[in-house]
Amino acid sequence: MPHYAGRSLVRRLALMSCFSLMSAAALAADLSPVPETPPPAPTELPSGWSFRFIPYGWLTSLNGKQTVRGRTASVDASFPKIVEETIGKGGTLVGLMGDFEARYGALGLYGDIVWAKVGVSGDSVHTRRFDPTISGSIGTSHSVNVNMAIVEGGAAYEVARFGLPHGDSPAIPTAIDLVAGARYWYQQASLSFNLSTSLDISDLTLVRNRALAKSGSVDWVDPLVGARVRFMVAPGQNIFLRGDVGGFGVGSKISWQAIGGYSFDFAEKNGITYSGIVGFRALYVDYVQGAGRNRYGYDMLEYGPVLGVSMRF
């Protein structure tokens, strides 16, 4: 074989080898594993005990009816109006609010307390009616003042934990709790009325040319059942929703509560995780006892924003 023919054969073999390597590389690329999908949301329950304490402020507005000694006044007062009518006129707006939960696995034990002293007057209060057994004209309401405590306790049990599909994004870790417990109510309320010549004041107290109806101490307990859903939308960020219904004629005729909010971790120190909480809470109750001059009623919706700081450890 001539020398130039040998060199031509070598070149052809080298070129074929290059094409073969390129084809093999392309095939390897076609057969490479498909990228893995994001791992599923965790479904295991955290181990051990965890504790959470939340001091918070509930900027409460009121809408409904207050009945004291058979006299009923309607109330429609926003939180700014309550502040204006209370602090702005030399009164004191007092509030103590906190929430606590201890959790072990699926079981959680919780407690919540609201204690407040509020007063509204002027355009926020209107006389609605007197009990038929009380004589006299209806006249004009002047103010409503209520000292109240709401103490709630119960248990929550996690019945489901899963990843909620979220398009092409990783699934959102979601947990569902069933809730059962009781809510204790304590109130002392008073209504004041402008005096009129036909107003029956035989069972009222006269204070500064006004007739004052005082309830004394009133309390009752409502059983409740409900559910709570928690979504971890990002590490350290959660959205929570809760609803419950109670009363059932045991204490009040009916009561219900709805809460929604967002929490976000912002610091961790000495084993304690601190989170900010913003949300909204609405609580309704329809309670009545007695008749005639002894009738007491509280048919009220309390609602407003919630701001708090959570400490978890």
**Straight-line distance from the first to the last Cα atom of the chain, in angstroms, rounded to the nearest whole number:** 87
Do residues 85 and 76 lie in contact, with contact meaning Cβ atoms separated by under 8 Å? no
User: pTM (2 decimals)?
Assistant: 0.79
Tell me what pLDDT residue 119 has.
Answer: 80
The mean pLDDT value for 75-98 works out to 75
Higher-pLDDT residue of 302 and 170 is 302
What's at 290, amino acid-wise? G
Q: Using one digit for the tens of pLDDT, what is the confidence trace for 240-280? A: 999 999 999 999 999 999 999 999 999 999 999 999 999 99
Decide if pLDDT at 64 tops 70: yes
- Give per-residue burial for 215-225: e unless 16+ CB within 10 Å, then b: beebebebbbe
Q: What is the dihedral of CA 57, 59, 62, 63, to 10 degrees?
A: -120
Tell me what pLDDT residue 307 has.
Answer: 96
Decide if pLDDT at 181 tops 50: yes
Residue labelled with tokens 């209060």? 125
Of the pLDDT bands very low, low, confident and very high (cuts 50, 70, 90), residue 308 is: very high
Q: Report the candidate in 117, 121, 131, 155 with the shortest Cα–Cα distance to residue 244.
A: 155
Domains for the chain: give ranges and CATH numbers: 33-312 (2.40.128.100)
Of the pLDDT bands very low, low, confident and very high (cuts 50, 70, 90), residue 9 is: very low
Decide if pLDDT at 306 tops 90: yes
Q: Using one digit for the tens of pLDDT, what is the confidence trace for 184-242? A: 999 999 888 766 545 555 555 555 556 667 888 999 999 999 999 999 999 999 999 99
The mean pLDDT value for 122-149 works out to 64
